[in-house]
Amino acid sequence: MKIFFKSFSYLFHPLFIPIVGTISYFIVTPKYSSLELQSGNILPIFILTVIIPIIFFFILKNLGMIHSIFAPSIAERKYPLYISIILYMMILYKVIPQNYINELYFFFVGLVISSVTLLILLFLKVKASIHLLGMGSILLFLIGLSIHFETNITFAIAIFTVCTGLVATSRLFMKAHSKAELLVGFLVGICSQLFMFKYWL
């Protein structure tokens, strides 16, 4: 049971949320996009949001500034958020500037807002769940895409809803967060994407 729940913390690690959102967009959108356009967005986003953070993790771990990929302490959690915010801003300015792919652009704006919010909460000594922030963000983005493109992706939304519950259960089982911290993280993720709806939906 421990391995089962722990696997969800790895499979749905916040590192993967940006690339999952990006791939989801290209799967759902009825707009034509060439393979070159898709790879021109997916590859740099994968490098910036998965590969580079992993490299930074090993650097920070060797420096003794962070000890686990889950960053359990408040002090440790600040570094991944700093890095994420900088990388998201790079994506917004260099990979998907505004009016290029509006849906993805505002998805990443929402991720920046939610990451900044969690950073502010950390300075207030509130350790909200980054895992649930990610799940809330992707869940609302999928709902937004479904409404925006008038596409029935109920099954995908249902799957991510179930996975959100399993990730929350996993974090509780591993004693990584309290119920309140999970709820705060989830609400921050949902609200940041919900706020962005008025710009692209």
For 150-172, write each residue's pLDDT tens digit: 889 999 999 999 999 988 888 88
Measured distance CA(126)–CA(197) in Å, rounded: 27
* Count of structural domains, the chain: 1
**What domain range includes position 51?**
2-200
**pLDDT score of 114:** 95
- Per 3-state DSSP, what percentage of the chain is helix, strand, and coil (rounded to 5)? 80, 0, 20
Which burial class, exposed, middle or buried, applies to 197 when counting CB atoms under 10 A from its CB (0-12, 13-18, 19+)? middle
For residue 80 the two structure tokens come to: 């991944």
pLDDT tens-digit series, residues 87-132: 999 999 888 876 678 899 999 999 999 999 999 998 888 888 888 9
**pLDDT score of 188:** 94
Measured distance CA(134)–CA(126) in Å, rounded: 17
CA 38 to each of CA 97, 106, 166: distance values in angstroms, whole numbers, following the listed order: 15, 17, 30
**pLDDT score of 2:** 67
Range among 65-69, 80-84, 113-117 with highest mean pLDDT value: 113-117
CA 49 to each of CA 18, 89, 108, 155: distance values in angstroms, whole numbers, following the listed order: 7, 11, 11, 26
Question: Which of 24, 20, 77 has its CA nearest to residue 50?
Answer: 20
pLDDT tens-digit series, residues 6-20: 777 778 888 899 999
By mean pLDDT, which of 3-7, 20-24, 51-55 is the weakest? 3-7
Measured distance CA(179)–CA(167) in Å, rounded: 12
Confidence tier at 195 by pLDDT (50, 70, 90): very high
pLDDT tens-digit series, residues 177-191: 888 989 999 999 999
